[in-house]
Amino acid sequence: MTQVPSSPLVEEKVEEEAVTEASGLSPRLIFETIRRHGDEELKRPTKTLFWSGIAAGILISFSVLGEAYLRAYLPDTDWRFIVENLGYSLGFLLVILGRMQLFTENTITTVVPAVIDPCRSVFARVAKLWAIVLLSNIIGAFIIASFLVYTPVFTPELLGVVTDLSKHATGFPPVEGFVRGIPAGVLIAAIVWMLPSAQNNEVLLIIIFTWLIALGDFTHIIAGSVEMAVLAVQGLITAPQAIFGFFLPVLIGNVIGGTAVFTMMTYAQIRPEIDGDV
């Protein structure tokens, strides 16, 4: 059977598709993907956001649990700290791949539409979404903390490990907690920026970047809120310590890292291209 020779036009099209696939998404396409995702998030019903946020607050606890189990069962050696922090990635894998509402993830996806169209209505929608997701994440964190403390799911020894980890994570001075929150915000935003072009490497990407958060002792507002809640339900931290010593400084640090630093830097890459279309 004779083969019909390919025309130059077909060969050129095949070559163009191969080059596009090899080179991956351009910064502009990544930005547009995130913008569309942000628009979709801003249009989601309040109830959907709320319940998804509660689920995220509960499931992010597996970051604390993963780290605690590895610390409890690994030998007490110099390298244990490096390995045990891999457990921190478990909760983020569940939440991010499950497309649940995690507050720090929305500090980039929903800010991008506001950067493109900076008007009062868009800012109001972003503020509403942030408030709903943050509140529901915290509710989820307290639900799972109460379950872990008041049910026999843990041995006393393992609960002690979780408590020690929680004291360390929430025990930074406010200014230090704020500063450590900035790199965490940048790293979470970097995950969001890189996921569209990850090409089936999403799991590895999330593990590496969230492991770096734990390894660097950077502070994350939602995972840290599970640890804050573990202490609160045991009466080991006062409300002023929790709110002003941990929660607000880390929240501000994460928001700055995820928006003012990262989003503006990425927008600067593609702004000339967008302006050129206008």
pLDDT for the residue 5: 53
Mean pLDDT for all residues in the chain: 85
- Cβ(186)–Cβ(255) below 8 Å: no
pLDDT for the residue 120: 87
Helix %, strand %, coil % of the chain (to 5): 80, 0, 20
Reading phi first (left if > 0) and then psi (alpha if -120 to 50, else beta), residue 183 is in alpha
> CA separation (Å) from 113 to 32, 37, 157, 196?
10, 9, 47, 17
Give the orientation angle of helix 46-59 with respect to helix 89-97, to 10 degrees.
Answer: 160
Query: Which of 11-25, 32-46, 147-161, 168-182 is least confident?
Result: 11-25
Tokens of 5: 């020779």
- With a CB cutoff of 8 Å and minimum separation 6, the contacts of 63 are 87, 88, 89, 90, 91, 92, 210, 214, 223, 226
Is residue 11 predicted with pLDDT exceeding 60? no
pLDDT for the residue 35: 81
Is residue 137 predicted with pLDDT exceeding 60? yes
Nearest CA to 263 out of 186, 172, 154 is that of: 186
Nearest CA to 227 out of 141, 159, 155, 133 is that of: 141
> CA separation (Å) from 164 to 61, 131, 231?
15, 30, 9
Name the DSSP class of 86.
G
The span from the CA of 31 to the CA of 95, in Å, is 22
Q: Which residue has the higher pLDDT, 204 or 261?
A: 204
Region 247-264 average pLDDT: 88
pLDDT for the residue 27: 74
Residue 23, Cβ neighbours under 10 Å: how many?
9
Is residue 13 predicted with pLDDT exceeding 70? no
pLDDT in tens, 57-78: 999 999 999 999 999 999 988 8
- Cβ(129)–Cβ(64) below 8 Å: no
pLDDT in tens, 41-59: 888 898 999 999 999 999 9
Place of tokens 């915000």: 185
Is residue 20 predicted with pLDDT exceeding 60? no
List, in order of start, the domains of the chain with CATH numbers: 26-272 (1.20.1080.10)
Nearest CA to 108 out of 48, 187, 55 is that of: 187
pLDDT in tens, 183-212: 999 999 889 888 888 778 889 999 999 999
| Exposure b/e, 174-187, CB count within 10 A at least 16 = b | beebbbbbbbbbbb
Is residue 1 predicted with pLDDT exceeding 70? no
pLDDT in tens, 77-133: 889 999 999 999 999 999 999 888 888 887 778 888 887 778 888 888 888 999 999
